Each structure stands twice: as C-alpha cells, then as structure tokens.
C-alpha cells in the first residue's frame, strides 16, 4: 500500500507498456510497407476492353480458387477473398516439428476491392477464371454499349 | 553499426536488380519470399504471379540459388487498356545457400503463381538426438 503511493502511476508510466506500444506501432508500419510491395491497394488490378468485353485482371498469387469471390451489380464488380501464406501444409513438414523463419515477406489476410466501370455490362454473361495467380473476369458489354457502325443514307 | 548493416543490405538489393537487367524489356521485380527452416531442410515460397512454368528458371550454381521468372503481358493484343496497376516484367532473386543443403535434391513446384522450393539438409546437418545411457 505504502509502495504504491510512492510510485503514482500518472507520474511514472510503466516503461514496459511504452515499449510495447512502440513495438505495436513499428509492427503496424512495417506490415503496411510489406503489404504495399505491389502498390497501395490490394490486389493490383488491370482493366482493359475490346469491342465485346471488359477484362478485369487481378494479381492474386497463391489463393485457393474456392476462397475467391467475384460478384457483379450493375456497373460494379467486386472481388473478395482470403489469402493464406501456407508455410508448409505437407505432412512431412509437420513431422519435422519445430520450424523457424529466416524471412517472412509474403502477406496474408482478407481483401475486397470494388471497381466501377463506366458502362453497364451484361451481368448474366460474366465469366471468371484463375490461372498462374491471376484472376481474370470477362464482362460482356450490353448491346447498347457496343460500338455500332451507322449507315449514312444519301437522299 | 546498424547503419552500415542497412547499407550493405541495400547494396545487395541493387546488385540483384542490376544483374537481372538484360534481354527482356519491362520492370524487374524483387518478389516477396518466405524462407523457413525445419529439422529436415528449408522451404522457400516466392510470389510470382503471372509466371508460367516454362518461363521460370531456378538454378543453382556455386552455392547461389537464382530464381528468375518472366510474366508475359496479361492483356490480349486487341484490348485497349483502361486501368493499369500491374505491369508485366521479370522477377529476380538470389540467395546464398549453406553447405548444409543437399544440392542435388532440390524440389521445385509452381502452383497458382507461387513457387515452392524444398531444400533438404544433408544427413550430417540434421539434428540428432543422442541417447544417454544411465549405466
């Protein structure tokens, strides 16, 4: 009791707590910079179009296809999912017991990104495929959005 | 002291990129990797999105492991780009291996744009439990 009054908590903050706070900040900052190795938003996306479709390609290495979700609504496309780093899922790795990391640069976690395109597309005809760590979503243009050659009539 | 260490790391990274610069146009990426060690060996995981197995080269020479992969253009020729956040290019990274690795038995797999290398340790480097006899 007497000891506690000698060391009021307001005057002397717990140095351990300070260090822990600092560690948390450093950790958050370094995690963010690692997350940013591809850019500011995850996943990075390329969008292009030809006369028939929009193509959205998202760079998403190492994802189980069943963990990927693509949804469309009017002129919006959302890609969401979860990435697991999977250190070593093989039975052999487990048998070997303890493992230690020399480098840990790859990131994991849930992500979601919505892109709004400048025209409505045909939601029924949207297809998605995943290959070599790239998710490709093909969004067919509606007939109204397709370029059309208008015949000019001479009178 | 810490400063010199940082500098060394930076130099190394620069050299990596410089030695990868040849043949193909486009950016050279330093892909993120995880390296973990267990009793039987090392596992290296590297993110190489867009790389097909035929465009990936993993080689081991004089104790240096080199990972080099090329990502072809993602879009078709007739497409007009609207948004481009990712540019296809080359992935390059090098690591010095310890003598503890059984260099003839390295296994490589490329699944969904992630390279998984298994580098088994030589028998002499594996930890062994020595039985203690009481008599």
Cβ distance A93 to B113 less than 8 Å, yes or no, reads: no
Q: How many CB atoms lie within 10 A of CB A107?
A: 19
B9 pLDDT band, cuts 50/70/90, is very low
What average pLDDT does this structure show over A26-54? 70
Q: Please determine, for residue A95, whether its predicted confidence score (pLDDT) is greater than 90.
A: no
What average pLDDT does this structure show over A110-125? 90
**Cα-Cα end-to-end distance for chain A:** 105
Q: Which domain holds residue A130?
A: 34-86+108-146
Both structure tokens of A70:
């693509």
Q: Is residue A94 in a domain?
A: no
Both structure tokens of B20:
């990868």
B130 at interface of A, judged by CB pairs closer than 8 A: no
Cβ distance B32 to A106 less than 8 Å, yes or no, reads: yes
Q: Are B91 and B31 in contact (CB under 8 A)?
A: yes
Residue B98 has a pLDDT of 82
Of residues B42 and A93, more confidently modeled: B42
B128 at interface of A, judged by CB pairs closer than 8 A: no
Residue A97 has a pLDDT of 59
Q: Is residue A10 in a domain?
A: no
Task: Find the CB nearest B114 among A46, A57, A62.
Answer: A62
With pLDDT > 90 as the criterion, what percentage of chain B qualifies? 45
Q: Please determine, for residue B8, whether its predicted confidence score (pLDDT) is greater than 90.
A: no
Please state which CATH number belongs to domain B14-74+83-125: 2.60.40.790
Both structure tokens of B120:
């088994």
d(CA B1, CA B55): 41
Q: Is residue A13 in a domain?
A: no
Omega before A43 cis (within 30°)?
yes
Q: What is the 3-state secondary structure (H, E, C) of chain A?
A: CHHHHHCCCCCCCCHHHHHHHHHHHHHHHHHHHHHHHHCCCCCCEEEEECCCEEEEEEECCCCCHHHEEEEEECCEEEEEEEECCCCCCCHHHHHCCCEEEEEECCCCEEEEEEEECCCCECHHHCEEEEECCEEEEEEEECHHHCCCCCCCCCC
Q: Is residue A60 in a domain?
A: yes
d(CA A81, CA B75): 23
CATH number at residue A82: 2.60.40.790
Q: Is residue A96 in a domain?
A: no
Cβ distance B49 to A86 less than 8 Å, yes or no, reads: no
Q: Is residue A5 in a domain?
A: no
Of residues B4 and A47, more confidently modeled: A47
Which residue's entry shows tokens 């390609």? A57
B79 at interface of A, judged by CB pairs closer than 8 A: yes
Residue B10 has a pLDDT of 40
- All residues of chain B having their beta carbon less than 8 Å from the beta carbon of residue A86 are 45
Q: Are B129 and B65 in contact (CB under 8 A)?
A: no
If you count them, how many residues does chain B have? 135
Give the single-character DSSP code of B65.
E
Q: pLDDT of A121-144, one tens digit each?
A: 888 999 999 999 999 999 998 887
Instruction: Give me the number of domains chain A comprises.
Output: 1
d(CA A103, CA B91): 18
Q: Please determine, for residue A12, whether its predicted confidence score (pLDDT) is greater than 80.
A: no
- All residues of chain A having their beta carbon less than 8 Å from the beta carbon of residue B36 are 87-88, 99-102, 104
Which candidate in B43, B45, B46, B89 is best for mutational testing of the A interface (most A CBs within 10 A)?
B45
Mean pLDDT of chain A: 78
A133 at interface of B, judged by CB pairs closer than 8 A: yes
Domain coordinates in residue numbering, chain B: 14-74+83-125
Q: Is B67 helix (H, G, I), strand (E, B) or coil?
A: strand
d(CA A34, CA B30): 12
Cα angle at B16 between B11 and B21, to 5 degrees? 125
The C-alpha of A134 sits at a distance from chain B's nearest C-alpha, in angstroms, of 6
């Amino acid at each position: 009791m007497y000891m506690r009054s000698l060391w009021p908590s307001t005057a002397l903050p717990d140095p351990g707590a300070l260090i822990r706070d600092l560690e948390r900040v450093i950790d958050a900052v370094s995690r963010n910079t690692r997350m940013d190795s591809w850019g500011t938003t995850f996943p990075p996306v390329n969008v292009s179009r030809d006369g028939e479709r929009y193509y959205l390609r998202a760079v998403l290495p190492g994802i189980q296809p069943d963990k990927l979700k693509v949804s469309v609504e009017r002129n919006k496309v959302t890609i969401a999912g979860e990435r697991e780093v999977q250190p070593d899922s093989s039975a052999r790795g487990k048998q070997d017991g303890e493992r230690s990391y020399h480098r840990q640069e790859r990131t994991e976690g849930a992500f979601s990104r919505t892109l709004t395109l400048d025209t409505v597309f045909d939601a029924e005809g949207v297809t998605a495929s995943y290959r070599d760590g790239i998710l490709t979503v093909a969004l067919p243009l509606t007939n109204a959005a397709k370029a059309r050659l208008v015949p000019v009539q001479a009178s | 002291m810490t400063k010199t260490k940082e500098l060394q790391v930076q130099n190394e990274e620069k050299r990596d990129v410089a030695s990868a610069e040849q043949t193909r146009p486009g950016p050279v990426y330093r892909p993120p990797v995880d390296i973990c060690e267990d009793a039987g060996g090392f596992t290296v995981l590297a993110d190489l999105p867009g790389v097909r197995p035929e465009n990936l080269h993993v080689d081991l020479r004089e104790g240096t492991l080199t990972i080099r992969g090329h990502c072809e253009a993602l879009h078709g020729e007739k497409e007009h780009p609207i948004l481009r956040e990712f540019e296809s290019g080359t992935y390059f990274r090098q690591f010095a291996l310890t003598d503890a690795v059984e260099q003839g038995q390295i296994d490589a797999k490329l699944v969904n744009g992630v390279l998984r290398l298994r580098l088994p340790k030589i028998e002499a480097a594996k930890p062994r439990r020595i039985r203690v006899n009481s008599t």
